[in-house]
Amino acid sequence: MVKVAEQAPVFESVMAYQAGEFKKVSLGDHKGKWVVLFFYPRDFTFVCPTEIREFAELENEFEAANAMVIGASTDSEYSHRAWFEKDLPEVKYPVLADTTQEVSEMYNVLGADGASQRGTFIIDPDGDLRWMNVSDNSVGRSVKEVIRALKALQTGELCPADWAPGSETLGKE
- Sign for the CA dihedral angle at 102, 108, 114, 120 comes to negative
CB 91 within 8 A of CB 16: no
Catalytically annotated residue among 48, 67, 97, 103: 48
Residue 39 burial class via C-beta count within 10 angstroms: exposed 0-12, middle 13-18, buried 19 and up: buried
Return the closest-CA partner of residue 18 out of 82, 72, 91, 121: 91
Return the closest-CA partner of residue 110 out of 102, 35, 8: 102
| Residue 48 is among the residues annotated as catalytic for this protein | yes
- 11-14 long-range Cβ contacts below 8 angstroms, 24+ apart: 11/96, 11/102, 11/103, 11/106, 14/96, 14/97, 14/98, 14/103
φ/ψ region of 167 (left if φ > 0, alpha if ψ in -120 to 50, else beta) reads: beta
Active site residues: 48
